[in-house]
Amino acid sequence: MTADGTIFLVDDDSQLRKAMVQTLELDGLPVTSFSRAEQALAALSEDFDGVVITDVRMPGMTGLEFFDHVRKIDADLPVILITGHGD
């Protein structure tokens, strides 16, 4: 990610999403957050210069399904998968 790259944060848990956005922004990082993978996918383009952080378990499109779609748009785009579940 370049110095001006944006973080796309995708998590359906609003409290966790807000806390993560606040933490990242306090470090001076630009963040755009989404509650659903479908929203993030609609905003993502081939020229996106950043990184995606996504929850794995979400209603609708899961994080793994979202990851597959992101790879079709840009196979080199960094994607970090997170989960609060141990299984």
**pTM of this prediction exceeds 0.75:** yes
Amino acid letter, residue 82: I
Domain count, the chain: 1
Is residue 56 assigned to a domain? no
Q: Is residue 7 part of a domain?
A: no
pLDDT digits (tens, 9 = 90+) for 29-75: 999 999 999 999 999 999 999 999 999 999 999 999 999 999 999 99
Q: Encode pLDDT of 6-27 as tens digits.
A: 999 999 999 999 999 999 999 9
Measure the CA–CA gap between 36 and 27, rounded to whole angstroms. Answer: 24
**Residues of the domain holding 19:** 13-47+61-87
In a domain, 8, yes or no: no
**Could you tell me if residue 4 is inside a domain?**
no
Residue 28 lies in a domain: yes
**Does residue 19 form part of some domain?**
yes
Other C-beta atoms closer than 10 Å to the C-beta of 11 total: 26
Residue 83 lies in a domain: yes
| 34 touches 55 (CB < 8 A) | no
CATH code, 19: 3.40.50.2300
Is 21 a member of any domain? Answer: yes
Pull the structure tokens for residue 40.
Answer: 């993030």
Return all residues near 18 (Cβ < 8 A) that are at least 6 apart.
Answer: 33
